[in-house]
Amino acid sequence: MNRQRCDTMIIWLLSILIFTYSARVYSGEDMTYYDEQIRMANKIRSIMIENNICASVIDCQNKQPYFVSPYKNGFSVQLWGVHDKRVLREVLFQCADVFASYFGDITIVISVYRRTKKESLSSFLGGILEKPWMSIEFRGER
């Protein structure tokens, strides 16, 4: 009975690993730099809290001043309603630092919007036509 239980557990664990891997590979999003994307989201959250854009992690989740998401061969950063030059400079510096650490072998797109995400979503067509106020792209010769 123990042998059968062990085999069942191994099959179950392998199924989860295969499903997780397949979901990442076949989801249509480039997850090559997923770990870097998560690190950047954490850095930006810290920058937001240090500069009083958000009071806490929960406040950042509620205000949604930034998003970090997968992008072809890298990730994208969206800043919503952030006008503090120090914050913009620090986010830009952090992205440039990651780009340089990969010797240009990563794409990072930064889009800055004048309005907050909530303001944009409450506007005509839910902000679909929202254009960035500023857009910066780090792209190498890949």
pLDDT at 24 over 90: no
pLDDT at 14 over 50: no
**Residue matched to tokens 């999003």:** 29
pLDDT tens-digit series, residues 50-102: 999 999 999 999 999 999 999 999 999 999 999 999 999 999 999 999 999 99
pLDDT tens-digit series, residues 107-132: 999 999 999 998 888 887 767 778 89
Of 137, 121, 9, 2, the C-alpha closest to 73 is 137
117, containing H or E segment: helix 117-121
Give one DSSP letter per residue of 24-50, joined into a string. HHSSSS--TTHHHHHHHHHHHHHHHHH
pLDDT for res 17: 53
Integer Cα distance of 60 and 64 in angstroms = 6
Chain centroid, CA 42 distance in Å: 9
Give one DSSP letter per residue of 88-109, joined into a string. HHHHHHHHHHHHHHTTT-SEEE
- The alpha-carbon radius of gyration of the chain (Å, integer) is 19
pLDDT at 44 over 90: yes
Distances in Å between the alpha carbon of 75 and those of 8, 39, 101, 139?
38, 11, 15, 11
Integer Cα distance of 142 and 73 in angstroms = 9
For residues 141 and 96, the model is more confident at: 96
